[in-house]
A and B are shown apart, each in its own frame.
Chain A
Amino acid sequence: MNLQKLVTLFTAVLITHLAFADVAEGEKLYNANCTSCHAINEKIVGPALKDVDKRHSEIWILKWVKNSQAMVKAGDPEAVKISEEYNGSVMTAFPQLSNDQVKSILAYIKTGGPAPATAGSDGAAAKSEDGFYSNAMMLGLALFAFILILIVFILLSVRKVVENLYFQTFPDQADEIKISWKLNKTSFRYKLFKKHPVVGVLMVSTLFIVALSIYGFDYGNKEVGVQKGYAPTQPIAYSHELHAGKYKINCQYCHSGADKGKQATIPSASTCMNCHMHVTAKEKYNGSVSPEIQKIYTSIGWDAEKRAYIPNYKQQPIKWIRIHNLPDHAYFNHAQHVKIGKVECQACHGSVETMKVVSQQHSLQMGWCINCHREAKVDVAGNDYYEGLHKNLNGKSITVAENGGTECGKCHY
C-alpha cells in the first residue's frame, strides 16, 4: 500500500517536473521564435495564440508550423481560411523545430503566458530618480528663479518708495545719506573695492570661477556621457513598454548584435517592417496609419495603401538619439557581457520593458563598471575557454576582478 502510494507520488512528481520542463523550454522557444508576430491574448501580425490547441488539432498545428505554405497550396481548408483572413501573408516556416519543441510551445501557450503588465504601474519608474534634466524640473527651476528676481525688484522698489518718503519728511538729511559709497569709509563696498581692491577683485572672480566650474564640470560630464536620467525625445515615439513589456518581444530580436559583438545595434528600419508591414494601428487612428508607424514607412519607402515598397525611393535612415554613450577611450563589448557573462540587459539599462521613453538608468562611470566586476563571478562551467584557463584553480569560483577584470588594459587601449 505504502509502496503503491510512493510510486504514485513519484510518478506525479515526475510528470509535473516533465511538464514544467516542457513549459520552460516552450517559453524560451516561444520568445525566440514567435513573439515577433504573435501574442497570446492579442492579434498582432498573426492571430492571438490563446486556445490555438482548441481551434486546431495538434497534428495540424505541427504541420502548419513547419511549413504552412505547403498546406495552403495543398488546399487544406483550415489553412486556406487563415491565409485568406490574413490577406495571403505568409507565416515563417520553422522546419528546424522538432515535434516535441512545438508541443512544448503549445504547453507554454496553454499556461496563458506571463500576466500582462498592468497599465499605469510604469509611469513613475520611467522618470529618473534625481530628474535633474527633466523638463518639468527645469521649468520649475526657471519659475523659481523668476519669482526670486521678482521679489528682488519688489523689494528694491519698496525701498525706493520708503526712501523717497523719508527724504520728503527729512529733506535736510538727504545729502548726508546720499553720499556715494566711494566716500563712505565705513561701508563694506568701500572697504572691499577701494581699500583692498586686490582682495575685492579676487573674491568676485573666485565666485565667478566657482560658478563657471560647476557649469563646466556639468558640461564635461555631459560631453563624456555622464548623463544619468537622460531621456531625449526620439524621432519616433517608440515605446519599449509596448513592444518589450506588453508584447514580450525579445530584446535581441531587434538589438541583434548584443550577443554577436561590440555593439548591441539599433535595429534597421527593415527589422521594424517585419511586423509593421502588417501592424499599422489603423484601428486607433480612424483607419489611417499611425503617424509614428508612418515614419518608418517614410524612411524605408513603403506604400501602406498598395502594400508594396515604392520603387526607386530615396530612403532616409531614422536618426535615433543615442542615450548610452561610453567615452571613446573605453572599450565595451556587448557579446562578452550578454553571451559570455550572461548579464541581463536590465542590469545596465534598467527595466527598459517598463519604459515608454527610455532613459539612462546608471551613470556608466568607471566606478560603476568596476563595482560590478568586483562582485560578479566568472561563469566558468560550460565554457571550455574558462574551464581550460582555470584548471589549476581547483574549482574555486572567482570574480571578474580576480580574473584581471579590473586591469586598465582590459577596457582602455
Chain B
Amino acid sequence: MENKNKYWRGLEELNNDAAFVAGKKNEFAEGIPLLEALNDDEGEFQSNRRDFLKYFGFSISAVALAACNQTPIKNVIPYVFKPENITPGNANWYASTCGACPTGCSILVKTREGRPIKIEGNSDSPVFKGGVCAKGHASLLGLYDNERLQAPKKDNNSSTWSEIDGEIAKALSSAKNIRIVHGTVNSPTTKKVLIDFAAKFPNSKTVNYEAVSYAALIEANKNAFGKAVVPSYNFANAKVIVSFAADFLGTWISPVEFAKAWVSKRKVSATNKEMSRHIQFESNLSMTGSNADVRYPIKPSMEGIILLNLYNKIAAKAGAPILPSVTNVEVVVNGIELTANELWNAKGNSLLISGSNNLDNQLLVAAINSMLGNFGTTVDLDNFSNQVSGDDSGFEKFVEEMESGAVDAVIFYNSNPAYSYYNSSRFANALKKVGTTITTNSSTDETGVFCKYQCPDNHYLESWNDAEPKLGYLGLTQPTITKVFDTRQAQESLLIWSGNNEEYYSYLKNNWSTMLGSSVDWNQCIHNGFIVLPSKSTSSNSFNANLSGVVAPITTSYTQSKDKLELKVYQKVSIGDGTHANNPWLQELPDPVSRTCWDNYLTIGKASADQLDLKDGDVVTVSSGKNKIENLPVMVQPGQANKTIGIALGYGRTNGGKVANGVGANAYTFTSFQNGTVSYMVADVSISKTGDGYKLAQTQTHHTIEGRNLIRDASLKEFQNDSKAGNHDSAHIISLWEEHDNKGHKWGMAIDMNACTGCGSCIVSCSAENNVPVVGRKEVIRSREMHWLRIDRYYTFKDTNTKASVSKEKEINADDNAIDFENVRVQFQPVMCQQCNHAPCETVCPVYATTHSSEGLNQMTYNRCIGTRYCANNCPYKVRRFNWFKLRDNDQFDFYMNNDLGRMVINPDVTVRSRGVMEKCTFCVQRIQAGKLKAKLENRTMVDGDVKTACQQSCPADAIVFGDLMDKDSEISKLYRNERSYVMLEEYNVQPSVYYMTKIRNTDETIAGTHKDAHKGGNEKHEEHKEEKEHAHS
C-alpha cells in the first residue's frame, strides 16, 4: 500500500493541518462535559464544597422522599372498540404516496397502534422500485411537528372553521379577481377541484409558482415540439449520459426513479462487464457530478456556449445545418469533441440533459437529443412527467397585477413565495394590496404572516389524495393516522368555499371512477397504492424551433462574464428548496459532498480561494448589485470550478420554525428574473472578508482513519481484463481470536460502491428505524453526531503522472502540471458497524456490554454499558457513538425528542438510549428478530430477502445487500464470493461482516494499475513470512 495518501477526505487532511493532526490524536474531540453539567454558563469552574454538600444533601432527601412512594401506577388502557385489523404490538402497513415533494414516490407507511413510525419505498412500484429519498423518510417527522398550525387562524388569532368559512365565502363571492397560487400539482383530483373552483368563480385564475422552477424546460419543449411538458427520462436505456449541471441523482425532477434506472446500467459483474458512461459538466461539485465517470468543471455562463459547440459538432456528424457565428470554445483539451463523439456513437441510446432554467440552453438540449434520435428511447414526451413545473412569467405577471391593485383575493396552496421569491420585499408589499389573503400552508410561514386567513392543510399522512407523477402512473394517498390537530385538507377547503360540501374522500373516489371507469377495483387500488395504465405510444417528435436566435445571447453572456467570479445557487440533497428546512433529521444530514450540516456556506475552489486569500471558516459578504448576503462562511470545496462559487438554497428561513429559523442565509435573493425565466446564476459577484471566523459543522474528518486506504477502485478497462482488478491486495493474516461456530444464521452485508451515490437516504432511514437522536450544530462540531451510519466521502487527484496509454482523460489533464483541485475524483463509502467476527471492541469491554452472538452479530447491551468508551477507542472503523447527554426531554436539545408529540415517531421496538451509554449499528436486530418470528409463525424456513435492514430497504441505488451467509444460495453469499468484494483493513483480521465491492469507473485511465505491483510485493512478503515460520518450526 505504497500510495498511502491517495485518498483524502478534506483539505485539512491532505495538508496535515496542525489543528487536524492535534485533533485526531484524541479518540474523542472533547472530554466529559463535567463543567457544563455543573455550570449553566460556560464560565469557570465555580462550584465549591458547599455547593457539593448542598447537591449531596438534596439528592439524598430526594431519594428519601421518592422512596416513600407506592409502587408507581402504570395504566394499561385498551380500546373501547378494538379495530378489527389492529393488534397492539404488531405493525400495520399502508400503501400510500409520498407527499414530501411532487415527485410522488410510492411508499409504504408502517404504523404502530395507529401512529405512523416509518416510511419505506413500495418495491412493487415499477417506477420507483422501493426507493425513498432522505426527504421522503424525514417527512414523517413533519407530521409530529408541534409548530404546525393547530387550528385555523384569522388575523393571527385562533378561530373556528365555521367562522372562517363564512367570512371567506362572503369575501370570495364579492371578489372581482381571485388568484390561487399553487406549487406543482401532480394530483388529477386536486386539478379537478381547481377546475370546479374556477367554474364557481369565473373571475378566478390559478398561478403556478415553484421555488425552483423548470419553466425553461417546459417552454423549450413547447417551442420545439408543441408539447409544453416535462419529459420522462429513461436512464436505463442510456449508454451515454451527458448532464449539464442537472443533479439528477440528488435533486433534479425525480431522483429516486432516476437513481434506480441509472444504477441498472452501472452495476457490473464477472458476466456483465458493460456499464453506461456518465459525463457531467458543472461548476459546483454536485452529488451527481461526484458519481460521474468524467466531470468537466465549467463556469455556469459557459453552459450555453458549450452546448452551442456540441450542437455544431453533432450537427456536422448528422449532416444537419450548423449554426453560424459560434465562438469556438473547448473544455480542457478537447472535451466537447470527445463528448460529441461519444454521444454520436451511442445514437438513440444516449441522453443529454441540462439543469439550467435558461430557455436557450434547453432548446439546444432538445435539438441535440432530437438529432441523436433519443426521443422515444431515453426521452419520452408523450408519457410525460407531472413532478415539476414552473411558470415564471405567469407569476411575474401576477405580482404586477397585485401591485396594480387588480387582485382582491388570493389563496396560497403549497407555495411560499414570500420566502423563495427573488425579491421578497416586493412580493410582500404587493400582497399587502390584496384584500382577502388566504393560505393553506400548514404552519405560519413567511407567506402566512401576511395572510388574513390561515387555513392549515393536513399533513399528507392524514389525508386522502391521489397523484399522477407520470402520465399513466396513478398513485393513491391514504390517511394513516387520525388528524393530529384541527386542520382541514386544502382540497376540502376549496370545495367548501366553492359551495360543495362533499367530503374529499368521496369526491376523490367518484373522480377515480370517472377517470378509470367502474371496472377498476377501488379497494385493490388502495391496497396496492398505485395503478399503472397502459402507456401511450410515442408519437413523432420533430424539432420545429428556430435556433438562430439563441446564438447571440449565449455568446454575449459568455464573453461578458469570461473573467468574472460567478455564482451558482443550488439545492442540497437534504434541504432542497427549503420546504423541509424545519426538519431536524434533514438539517443534521450531512451534505453528501461537503459533509456539512446545519448551515449553508459559500463553496469556492482552491485556486480562487487562494487568489482571494480565503480559507475555510472565513466569514464573507457576497454581493451582486443590490443583492447581498452578509456573514456567510467560506468552505473551500475541491472540484469546484475556478472562478465560481456556490451557495445552497433553502436556508435563512425567518418563519420556518424553531429548527429552521436562523440557520444559514437565504440565497434566493441572488436569483433573478431574466428573459422570461428565473435564473439561478449570477454572472458577476464580489466577495469581501469581514475578518470574522466561523466554524462549520463539518463531519468529513470526524472519525478519521489515519490515511489508511479503505477504498479500492479500478477502471472499466482494467476490470474487463481482470475481474479482480484493483482488488488484489491481500494481507498477511495472523489470528488472535478463536473461530466462532455458527449453527443457525450468520448475517452479512455487502455494499456495492459502484452503486452507492451517497444520497444519504439510508442515514435518515436508519435514524427513524433506530431512534437515533439529533444533536444539533454545536455538538456536531464536537464530533458528537449520533448517526449509526455515515457515508464517507473521499477525494483523490486524477492520476496525472503515469505514462500509460494516452486516454481521453489523459489528454484533458496533459497540460496540468500543478496539483489540480478542480479535477478530483470522488468516492462514497457508507460505513456502519462492521459486525466483526473478531471484534476488538468486545475484548476490551470490562462489563461484557458488547458481546458476540451465535448469529455473527456484535451485540450492544445498553443497560450493561457503564460508559468507559474503551470499545470506541479500540474500534478500527470508528463506528461507535457515545451518548454524551440525555438527548430526550432535554431543553438543550429542543428537537423532536423534547416534546410528547415529536416522540410519537419513536420506534417502540428499539430502546431509547440514555446518557453515558455507547451505541452503534445493530444490523437492525429488531428486524432480524421480527423476520425470524414471522417465519416461525408461518411455519416455514426463512427465505432470502425476509430480513431487510432499514438502510438496505431505503437505498435508491440498491447498493446494500443483506442476508444469511449460512444459506449458500443467498444473494449475500454470492456477493461474498464475488471477485470485487473486499473488507476494510483486512490486515487486522477482525473479520468484518460487511464486504465492500470495488468501485469501477468507466474510464480508460489507469486506476488500479499500481495495485497490481503491490499485489506482487504482498505475495513476496507472504512468502518471506512463510519461510520465517518454517525456520521457527525447525
Chain A residues at the B interface, C-beta cutoff of 8 Å = 133, 208-209, 212, 215-216, 218-219, 222-223, 227, 230, 232, 256-257, 260-263, 265-271, 299-300, 315-322, 325, 327-329, 331, 333-336, 339-340, 382-390, 392-393, 403-404, 407-410, 412-413
Contact = CB atoms under 8 A, between A and B. Distances in A.
A215 B78 contact: no
Contact of A317 (B80, B855, B911): B80
B926 A413 contact: yes
B88 interface: yes
Given A385-B941, A389-B941, A322 B75 contact: yes
A401 B745 CA distance: 15
Interface stretch (B699-707, B860-868, B876-884): B860-868
Interface stretch (B58-66, B458-466, B533-541): B58-66
Nearest to A263: B89
Given A322-B74, A328-B911, 11 more contacts: A215-B63, A219-B69, A260-B90, A269-B79, A299-B80, A316-B80, A340-B936, A389-B941, A393-B743, A409-B859, A409-B922
Contacts of B517: none
Contacts of B939: 382-385
Interface stretch (B316-324, B927-935, B1014-1022): B927-935
Nearest to A133: B71
A327 B77 CA distance: 18
A320 B75 contact: yes
A267 to B, nearest CB: 6
B68 to A, nearest CB: 8
A268 B79 contact: yes
A219 B89 contact: no
Contact of B851 (A209, A317, A393, A407): A407
Nearest to B79: A268
Interface string B931-949: 0110111011110000000
B586 to A, nearest CB: 26
Contacts of A407: 851, 853-854, 859
B937 A222 contact: no
Interface in B841-858: 851, 853-855, 857
A11 B128 CA distance: 67
B71 A412 contact: no
A404 B851 CA distance: 12
A413 B910 contact: yes
26 contacts: A216-B66, A219-B63, A227-B71, A230-B71, A261-B88, A263-B88, A266-B78, A267-B78, A268-B80, A269-B81, A271-B82, A315-B81, A317-B79, A319-B75, A321-B75, A331-B909, A331-B926, A331-B929, A383-B939, A384-B939, A385-B936, A407-B851, A407-B859, A409-B853, A409-B857, A413-B911
A320 B78 contact: yes
A208 B56 CA distance: 13
B861 A408 contact: yes
Contacts of B818: none
Contact of B863 (A212, A340, A412): A412
Closest 5 CB pairs of A and B: A215-B67, A262-B89, A409-B859, A388-B941, A263-B89
Contacts of A216: 63, 66-67
B72 interface: yes
Contacts of B819: none
Nearest to B850: A408
B922 A222 contact: no
Contacts of B75: 319-322
B80 A265 contact: no
B744 interface: yes
A261 B113 CA distance: 13
A328 B90 contact: no
Interface in B615-660: none
Contacts of A232: 71, 73
Given A222-B71, A263-B89, A340-B937, A317 B60 contact: no
A212 B936 contact: no
Contact of A325 (B74, B90, B861, B909): B74
Contacts of A268: 78-82
Contacts of B922: 409, 413
B449 interface: no
Contact of B744 (A218, A265, A389, A412): A389
A158 B857 CA distance: 72
B567 to A, nearest CB: 48
B911 A329 contact: yes
B773 to A, nearest CB: 16
Contact of A266 (B76, B864, B909): B76
Contacts of B89: 257, 261-263, 265, 333-334
B87 interface: yes
Contacts of A334: 89
Nearest to B81: A270
Given A215-B64, A325-B74, A408 B864 contact: yes
A227 B933 CA distance: 29
Contacts of A410: 853, 929
Given A335-B933, A340-B933, A386-B936, A212 B67 contact: yes
B904 interface: no
Contact of A404 (B70, B853, B936): B853
Contact of A385 (B63, B73, B935): B935
Contact of B936 (A267, A318, A336): A336
A261 B90 CA distance: 6
A320 B861 contact: no
A386 B863 CA distance: 30
Given A216-B67, A329-B911, A392-B743, A384 B940 contact: yes
A265 B78 CA distance: 8
B781 interface: no
A408 B854 CA distance: 11
A232 B911 CA distance: 28
B843 to A, nearest CB: 16
Nearest to A235: B75
A269 B78 contact: yes
Greatest chain B CB density within 10 A among A215, A267, A383, A409 is at A409
B76 A320 contact: yes
B370 to A, nearest CB: 56
A308 B71 CA distance: 40
A340 B932 CA distance: 11
Contacts of A409: 851, 853, 857, 859-861, 922, 925
A393 B744 CA distance: 10
Greatest chain A CB density within 10 A among B63, B75, B936 is at B936
A224 B936 CA distance: 30
A215 B65 CA distance: 10
Nearest to B64: A212
B788 to A, nearest CB: 12
A256 B78 CA distance: 12
A256 B79 CA distance: 13
Interface in B448-474: none
B710 interface: no
A325 B854 CA distance: 29
A148 B71 CA distance: 26
B78 A385 contact: no
A407 B75 CA distance: 31
Contacts of B76: 266, 320-322
B793 to A, nearest CB: 30
